[in-house]
Structure 1
Amino acid sequence: MRLFLCEKPSQGRDIAKVLGASRRSNGCLIGPETIVTWCFGHLLETAPPEAYGEQFKSWSLDHLPITPAQWQVEVKPKTAAQFKIIKRLLSEATTVVIATDADREGEMIARELLELCKYRGPVQRLWLSALNETSIRRALSALKSGQETFPLYHSALARSRADWLIGMNLSRLFTLLGRQAGYDGVLSVGRVQTPTLRLVVDRDRAIASFVSVPYWEVEVHLSSMGQPFIASWLPPSLGQDEAGRCLHQTLARQAVQTIIDGCAATVLSLQTEHFREAPPLPFDLSTLQEICSRKLGLGVQETLNIAQALYETHKATTYPRSDCRYLPASMFDEVPAVFDALLKTDPVLRHALASLDRSLRSRAWNDAKVTAHHGIIPTTESANLARMSELERQVYELIRSHYLAQFLPHHEFDRTQVELECGAERLTAVGKQILVPGWKGLLYENTEEDEPNYKSQVLPVLQQGTQCAVDDVELKSMRTAAPKPLTEGDLIKAMKNVAKLVNDPRLKQKLRDTTGIGTEATRASIIKGLIDRGYLLKKKRALMASAAAHTLIEVVPIAVADPGMTAIWEQALDEIEAGRLTLDAFVAKQANWITQLVEHYGSLTLSIPIKAGPTCPMCNASMIKRKGKSGPFWSCSRYPDCKGTAPIKKDTPRP
């Protein structure tokens, strides 16, 4: 009997339908010589510290570090019944086809079960990028050998064990040290969550320490041959800061008067550059989450859930947890089928699809840049838009537009920069002339922030020596603005592009082409976990770190909170996946590092900078304990101006 082991029931039903496994049984679907069964995500979990000794039930510095010699897993209580079904089916199987999600976590979900149930038979791998019938049939005809994807399992195990070593040991270590210093909360430390938290804490610090500085701009309204345009005053080098801003009001006022007195500005020089902007690539998950955060106000987990529903439930788009924005060259042959499916899904597209050039082969079709997955695109199967929620439809349309953009020309424009002189003052004007709207036209809305009007204006015909009339001069009083709080989309982008935040040039170069902090599959859950633990507070779209988060970042070792360090760990996991580093060597190195940290910090006395209660959910101020009719509660320290409250909860001493 050949057993297909899927990651979740919906996936199992889709594969079973193609295999003809239609007879229902307990926890599986049965077909001729084939059975399809499924997990509910991870059925197993790494055993807690007490599984390695009763003494580890209590938290004590004397018990640290905890480094298992033989790692153990346990069946999750909620999924014990399904585990028993899979165990029985594995004992009867002659061949197992792993049909979990095509990534390292999917590999681990299946392989841990095979190992715990002592399955020793042949293993094959079904590698799916979409769950529509055509994609499943194609993948079934090209099954991979189990050995080919086995390194993914070791990579996932390495991630899991490193997370366990750091989370269990350092959470206990710093919580216990915090209690000695008078802090009664839990200081939860994680290999990925702590560096992620550091990004938000650093932004909060930058906002808190920011000092706004006044500066002045002079906007000059000019015209030539009756056509108006706007120019900006260029302060002299001695009167500007490093950003080119004028910090002296007197200097700006003098410039205004000089320009007014001059009555006309003379063109000194013109420089025109031609630009061709290629269509945006199809989405990977991070970019989709970033754009959905900015355009639709969605949280990153919400975006992932919607993308997963479009993939699993609606069969409208391909595998969502992709870290790649490119497409295999072979998929270009499927373009007609995708277009047909899009038209059946949404007949309103008929005119738009007819205007596309299906023969265009954009930069997206590039085998050399395709990883284990390809960009997120529509499938060759039509979908039912009426069954989608409004948000699902909006996300689907974003994915669709990125795909259709591949069949539109480049966006082409000329950008002209003009330098003018008025009296002794220098002015500059920038103009943009769109030559070919291309992909920014009918089907696709630009994902970048709109340019200021004066940078996208159409200039009149100018040449050196042209005299332009001064119609108006405006002195603008401005102030430098503090950095904006991070949104979930901003945080995802920062996690992915962590190399920009690293100063060490050698480390920066190593990180430039890596995935950064976390993976496409885990970043959303990391952010959600930080919010659920109360480390991150969400006010509308903005994220802010709580008082406990600031405490944690103050006391943990720099290396633990360093975004560059965790990205190097992720790089090591890629090395395991590639077979250039062994699981045992990686875990041993992590265990040795943890031992050194425990030895160093275990004898130190921490200075806890914040002993306050939680942060007010309404205004982000600190909270203090007050007594009410029903007992003590947290109240905003700004009461009665702010009436935010929160219940007092006891922290459970568990990382």
Structure 2
Amino acid sequence: MRLFLCEKPSQGKDIARVVGATQRGTGYLSGPEVCVTWCIGHMLETCPPEAYNPIYKSWSLDHLPIIPEDWKVEVKPKTATQFKVVKKLLGQAKELVIATDADREGELIAREIMEYCGYRGPVHRLWLSALNPESIRKALLALKPGQETFYLYHAALARSRADWLIGMNLTRLFTLIARRCGHDQVMSVGRVQTPALYLTVIRERAINDFVKQPYWEVEVTLRAEGAEFMAKWKPQGNIVDAEGRCIDRAQADQALRQLTHGQAMVTAVDVERVSERPPLPFDMAALQEQCDHQFGMGVEETLNIAQSLYETHKATHYPRTECPYLPESMLKEVPTVIAALGKTDPSFVPLLQKLDLTVRSQAWDDVKLAGPHHGIIPTTEAADISKMSENELKVYDLIRRRYIAQFMPHHEYNRTVAMLDATGMVLKAVGKQIVVPGWKVLFTRDVEAEGDEQAQQKSQHLPNLQSGQACGIQSAELKSLSTSPPRRFTEGTLLKAMKNIADVVEDPRLKAKLKATTGIGTQATRASIIKGLMQRGYLDKKGRSLSPTSAAFALIDTVPSMVKDPGMTAIWEQASDEIEAGRMPLETFLKGQSVWIGKLVEQCSQLTLSIDQPPSPPCPTCSAPMRKRNGKNGPFMSCSKYPECKGILSLSPAKKTRKQ
């Protein structure tokens, strides 16, 4: 029997229809010499510390570091029933086809079960980028040998075990340090979450430390060729800051007086034809950023919707991709995809008929393909948009428009810069005239096409100006402005910062190395990391803005730089790439992590961690700070030196303080 092991039930049903497994069983589908079963995500999990030694159930600095010699996993209680089905079928299988998601985590889900159950038979890999029948049939004809993707498993295992080592040891370490100072909050520390939190703390401090600086602009309205246009005064000399803004109010007032009447002479006119290529198809991060910006969607919501478009609606390709480029081999599918888009939504047919399907945009480039997956695009089969929710349709619409844009002309416009002289005062006017709308007609609001909305609002069509031409001054206006602090992160911009981590790393050598990486975290984990920071009380969300809490400041100020430094974390991601490529043994990586954890515990065990919150009451026995605990009769305060001191304060006003 050939057994297909899938990641989710929906995935299993899609594959079963194609391979002829039509007979239903409990937790599987079968057919002649073929069976399809499925996991429910990760059905195994790394055991907690107490599984290695019962003493680890209580948290103590004396127990750290906790470094397993032989790693243990256990079956998750919620998926135990389905696990038994999978284990039984693995025992009967003569051949296994791994059909989980085509990435590291998918490989880990399948191979950790194979390892746990002792499967030793032949293994093949089904590598899917879409779940529509045509894509499944195509992948079945190109099964990979199991060994070809084996190191994906080790790369995922390295990440999982490194996360365990850091999370279990450093969370206990810094929680215990906080308890010594009377705080009862669990101080969660993570390999990726702590550097991500560090980014928000840096930003918040930059906002808090920001001092507004006033500056002034003079806008002048001129008239030429029967049309009015606007120019700005360009101050000169020592009255400007590094950005060329006037910081001298008296000089700005004087300029205003001189520019309220008279004429300005055109001294130079420069016209440049600008051609903008269509934007690339989305990778997951770009899609999450766009949905955050345009619709206010959280990054996890966007990820879930994209996964639904892939799994449930079969409308798009695999979404958890880091790469926006497309393989050149998919050019032959273009007519089929465009025809499917017309069947999906007949209102698009007039637009689709105008496309030039012979155009080859920058998106089709084998050289720039990075990783196992390409950009998110529609599939070759029609989808039923009537079954999509409102938000699903919004996300699908973004994806299909990015694809359609690849077959439309470049957006072209003339950018005109005119310099004028008004009795020695320099003026600058900028104009924009669209020549070929091109692909931008797809984006009527220009929300994603324009990077600077303010600049877009101020764009103007200048009259046909010539050097030496006189323009009449109609009016002038003085604007009192001030510099703005950095903006707080939103979910989308924090995700972007995590991906483009080289932008925030100062060390030039490290920055150069990180240019080629995909940052910290993965497309599959960044959304859950941001959500986790909010759930753990490290980030507050007001509107769309994220701001760190007092606990976040306390943790970031206490942990050593090598734990919170985004550059260091990204270097670890590079180590995962080395493992995936087979150039670094898993054991070598974990040994290095274990040594590093041991040194951290030794260096940090005497630190203090103070959170800006009301002080805890003193212990009635030894005067040490108290901390809040939850008992079977409700919350109470106990001495932070427990079990050495067993002083207790009841939180119930009806009970008196007691000592033990």
Q: TM-score, normalised by structure 1?
A: 0.92
CA pair 584-601 structure 1, distance change in 2 beyond 3 A: same
The 5 Å alignment of 1:444-483 reads: 446=446, 447=448, 448-449=450-451, 450-452=453-455, 456-483=459-486
Q: What SS is found at the alignment partner of 1:476?
A: strand
1:525 aligns with 2:497: no
8 Å contact kept, 2:405–2:442:
no
8 Å contact kept, 1:415–1:430:
yes
Match of 1:386 in 2: 386
Structure 1 residue 378, shift from structure 2 partner = 0.5
Structure 1 residue 462, shift from structure 2 partner = 1.2
1:576 aligns with 2:579: yes
Match of 1:605 in 2: 607
Structure 1 residue 144, shift from structure 2 partner = 0.4
Separation in 1 of the partners of 2:336 and 2:246? 58
Match of 1:63 in 2: 63
Q: What SS is found at the alignment partner of 1:260?
A: coil
Q: What SS is found at the alignment partner of 1:538?
A: strand
Structure 1 residue 438, shift from structure 2 partner = 1.0
Q: Tell me which of 547, 565, 570 is aligned to 2:568.
A: 565
Deviations 1:503-541 (A, max 9, x none): 111111111121101011111111111111121111111
Deviations 1:72-101 (A, max 9, x none): 111101111111111111111111000000
Return 447-456 or 6-15, whichever deviates more. Answer: 447-456
CA pair 310-274 structure 1, distance change in 2 beyond 3 A: same
Structure 1 residue 611, shift from structure 2 partner = 3.4
8 Å contact kept, 1:182–1:611:
no
Separation in 2 of the partners of 1:516 and 1:88? 40
Separation in 2 of the partners of 1:237 and 1:105? 59
Separation in 2 of the partners of 1:184 and 1:612? 12
Structure 1 residue 453, shift from structure 2 partner = 5.0
The 5 Å alignment of 1:509-520 reads: 509-520=512-523
Match of 1:251 in 2: 251
Deviations 1:96-133 (A, max 9, x none): 00000000000000000000001000100000000000
Separation in 1 of the partners of 2:229 and 2:544? 36
Structure 1 residue 269, shift from structure 2 partner = 1.5
| Counterpart AA for 2:297 | L
| RMSD of aligned residue pairs (Cα, Å) | 1.7
8 Å contact kept, 1:352–1:442:
no
8 Å contact kept, 1:405–1:443:
no
Separation in 2 of the partners of 1:10 and 1:328? 27
Q: What SS is found at the alignment partner of 2:156?
A: helix
Separation in 1 of the partners of 2:441 and 2:227? 26
Deviations 1:293-351 (A, max 9, x none): 00011000000010011111111111010111011111111111111111111000110
Match of 1:81 in 2: 81
8 Å contact kept, 2:217–2:481:
yes
8 Å contact kept, 2:554–2:609:
no
8 Å contact kept, 2:539–2:547:
yes
Match of 1:290 in 2: 289
Structure 1 outlier segments of 4+, above 4 Å: 442-445
Structure 1 residue 184, shift from structure 2 partner = 2.3
1:423 aligns with 2:423: yes
Return 1-10 or 196-205, whichever deviates more. Answer: 196-205
Q: Tell me which of 499, 502, 516 is aligned to 1:499.
A: 502
8 Å contact kept, 2:555–2:609:
no
Separation in 2 of the partners of 1:590 and 1:457? 58
Deviations 1:203-249 (A, max 9, x none): 11111121222211111111111111111111112101112111221
Structure 1 residue 454, shift from structure 2 partner = 7.0
The 5 Å alignment of 1:88-99 reads: 88-99=88-99
Q: What SS is found at the alignment partner of 1:469?
A: strand
**Residue correspondences, number:** 617
Structure 1 residue 380, shift from structure 2 partner = 0.9
| Counterpart AA for 2:355 | L
Match of 2:13 in 1: 13
Separation in 2 of the partners of 1:632 and 1:67? 33
| Counterpart AA for 1:275 | V
Percentage of identical aligned residues: 60
Match of 1:622 in 2: none
| Counterpart AA for 1:566 | T
Separation in 2 of the partners of 1:334 and 1:430? 43
Separation in 2 of the partners of 1:123 and 1:195? 38
| Counterpart AA for 1:490 | T
Structure 1 residue 436, shift from structure 2 partner = 1.3
Q: What SS is found at the alignment partner of 1:368?
A: coil
Structure 1 residue 444, shift from structure 2 partner = 6.5
8 Å contact kept, 2:177–2:609:
no
Separation in 2 of the partners of 1:501 and 1:465? 47
CA pair 4-305 structure 1, distance change in 2 beyond 3 A: same
Match of 2:619 in 1: none
Return 454-463 or 547-556, whichever deviates more. Answer: 454-463
| Counterpart AA for 1:297 | G
Separation in 2 of the partners of 1:158 and 1:60? 26
CA pair 18-345 structure 1, distance change in 2 beyond 3 A: same
8 Å contact kept, 2:324–2:363:
yes
Separation in 2 of the partners of 1:453 and 1:89? 61
Structure 1 residue 578, shift from structure 2 partner = 1.1
CA pair 453-312 structure 1, distance change in 2 beyond 3 A: closer
8 Å contact kept, 1:252–1:475:
yes
Separation in 2 of the partners of 1:573 and 1:264? 66
Structure 1 residue 612, shift from structure 2 partner = 4.7
Separation in 2 of the partners of 1:467 and 1:453? 27
Deviations 1:567-620 (A, max 9, x none): 111111111111111111111111111111111111x2315252359xxxxxxx
| Counterpart AA for 2:33 | E
Separation in 2 of the partners of 1:532 and 1:605? 26
Separation in 2 of the partners of 1:453 and 1:411? 15
Match of 1:311 in 2: 310
Instruction: Note the residue ranges of structure 1 that are not aligned, 5 or more in a row.
Output: 614-624, 626-630, 634-647, 649-655
The 5 Å alignment of 1:232-247 reads: 232-247=232-247
8 Å contact kept, 2:558–2:609:
yes
Separation in 2 of the partners of 1:440 and 1:219? 30
Deviations 1:184-213 (A, max 9, x none): 211110000001111111111111121222
8 Å contact kept, 2:263–2:470:
yes
Match of 2:335 in 1: 336
Q: What SS is found at the alignment partner of 1:163?
A: helix
Return 324-333 or 436-445, whichever deviates more. Answer: 436-445
Deviations 1:37-82 (A, max 9, x none): 0000000011111111111111111111011111111110111111
Structure 1 residue 452, shift from structure 2 partner = 2.3
| Counterpart AA for 1:472 | S
Match of 2:552 in 1: 549
Deviations 1:463-497 (A, max 9, x none): 21111111110001112222221111111111111
1:209 aligns with 2:186: no
Return 531-540 or 90-99, whichever deviates more. Answer: 531-540
Separation in 1 of the partners of 2:413 and 2:571? 41
The 5 Å alignment of 1:145-184 reads: 145-184=145-184
Separation in 1 of the partners of 2:265 and 2:119? 84
Separation in 2 of the partners of 1:612 and 1:317? 52
Q: What SS is found at the alignment partner of 1:452?
A: helix
Separation in 2 of the partners of 1:612 and 1:531? 22
Structure 1 residue 456, shift from structure 2 partner = 2.2
Separation in 1 of the partners of 2:334 and 2:444? 18
1:395 aligns with 2:395: yes
Separation in 2 of the partners of 1:282 and 1:78? 38
8 Å contact kept, 2:401–2:442:
no
Deviations 1:156-210 (A, max 9, x none): 0000011001101011111111111232211110000001111111111111121
8 Å contact kept, 1:99–1:126:
yes
Separation in 2 of the partners of 1:404 and 1:513? 29
8 Å contact kept, 2:108–2:157:
yes
